[in-house]
Chain A
């Protein structure tokens, strides 16, 4: 009862805060007085509704979403694999450290331009988002593996636990909090870097392409509407991912599978 009241209160606070920002936006719109440069919330909403009725909108959303999710999935697989190898073999850790550090500190724009030389613009968002998210997943999962309780690992060793039981019951519960946070941050980052790469690489069907075109033709309401689309999709993806990771947490911590 108390929990549901707290939830309702926090939802109400969020709605009030969002409404306050919308009012502020509307006030700015009135103050600036140039609807073509700074549209009102209603104008943006109307344009968004119009765009949502076109096939171009859904094709662009599907293409961008598909590429970002593909990049994120690849980064997840490779990040976990590299982290496991680095934890098991110190030489692999030393070998991977320089490229991981370089990738982490390189701006998305520089990367996009470099990758564009070698990769067709269609696949640019996949490569860029993959490269941007890979270090995040790798570092977090690696930290999680190191975070595994050494006393429990010794217990596993003297009781001769199989590799599967060690992975399932000793390592995974320790890695899970790091993995979850890497996933949530990584997906947001994949989304942002993927769209940024689209804006620079201009593949035919993509949200980034639509943003670029809206800017070129000074269709500012379109620019706002596409930005709203990105924000909504990002929020939706984050919510879905949180649900998925919660389920994964429950499965790993509470289920007895593997015993």
Chain B
């Protein structure tokens, strides 16, 4: 169990999280659902250690490998699609990179750089990098933005398959994505974030 206990985080004198607590199981798919701009990304940043709380604690992440997909693609513009994947993989696992590109429909674009790819393709490349890196916990922040209907369905399927034995924490403001991928939707209110409801999805 991952336990977020009495966390407070403040930016520019405004509380994003104030005495916030949340328990997340070790397996399954959990969605943090909230309107955009509410600060839900802060929870992901807290989990991957990029934001330090002013008070409170997080436990249950010790020894866990985290695979993070940021809201922005954060790809290296001068490296090819294939090399962007290889960059985050150890030497022994680099052979897996083309497989992930293929899975995300980018097999033919392996040699292209992000500047030569469309917005949707870059998003899929960022997803491929996260899935290729792999982990015990996948933290995906608005993963499907900019994808058209067809690629959205295929990409969701790949994500679902890749994360089935791990914990997936999805942050989104789109309900249909949450319902399609997750078995629990935690709806959060406006700043400072509070849990409004927890909904179990039956599949």
> What is A's interface to B at a CB cutoff of 8 Å?
151-152, 154-155, 157-159, 161, 165, 169-170, 173, 253-254, 256, 259
Contacts and interface: CB of A to CB of B under 8 A. Distances in A.
Given A152-B76, A159-B133, A161-B88, 8 more contacts: A151-B72, A151-B74, A154-B70, A161-B87, A165-B87, A169-B76, A169-B87, A259-B87
B93 interface: no
A158 B133 CA distance: 11
B79 A154 contact: no
Nearest to B77: A173
Given A158-B66, A259-B86, A253 B78 contact: yes
A155 to B, nearest CB: 4
Contact of A259 (B70, B83, B133): B83
B162 interface: no
A165 B76 CA distance: 12
B83 A155 contact: no
B79 A169 contact: yes
Given A259-B83, A259-B87, A254 B74 contact: no
A152 B133 CA distance: 16
Contacts of B87: 159, 161, 165, 169, 259
B70 A155 contact: yes
Contacts of B74: 151-152, 154-155
B71 to A, nearest CB: 10
Nearest to A153: B74
Contacts of A157: 49-50
Nearest to B74: A155
B78 A173 contact: yes
B88 A159 contact: yes
Nearest to B129: A159
Residues of B in contact with A, size category: 10 to 19
B48 interface: yes
A158 B86 contact: no
Contacts of B78: 173, 253-254
Contacts of A256: 79, 83
Interface in B11-32: none
B5 to A, nearest CB: 22
Nearest to A258: B87
Nearest to B48: A158
A259 B66 CA distance: 21
A151 B70 CA distance: 9
A154 B50 contact: yes
**B68, B87, B94, B133: most-surrounded residue (chain A CB, <10 A):** B87
Interface in B50-104: 50, 66, 68, 70, 72, 74, 76, 78-79, 83, 86-88, 94
A161 B133 CA distance: 11
Contacts of A161: 87-88
B111 to A, nearest CB: 11
21 contacts: A151-B74, A152-B76, A154-B50, A154-B74, A155-B70, A155-B74, A157-B50, A158-B48, A158-B50, A159-B68, A159-B133, A161-B87, A161-B88, A165-B87, A169-B76, A169-B87, A170-B76, A173-B78, A256-B79, A259-B86, A259-B94
Contacts of B50: 154, 157-158
Nearest to B68: A158
A228 B48 CA distance: 62
**A152, A159, A165, A169: most-surrounded residue (chain B CB, <10 A):** A159
Nearest to A159: B88
Contacts of B66: 158
Nearest to B65: A160
A81 to B, nearest CB: 25
Contacts of B83: 256, 259
A154 B70 CA distance: 10
Nearest to B79: A169
A156 to B, nearest CB: 9
Contacts of B48: 158
A157 B48 CA distance: 9
Contacts of B72: 151
B99 to A, nearest CB: 17
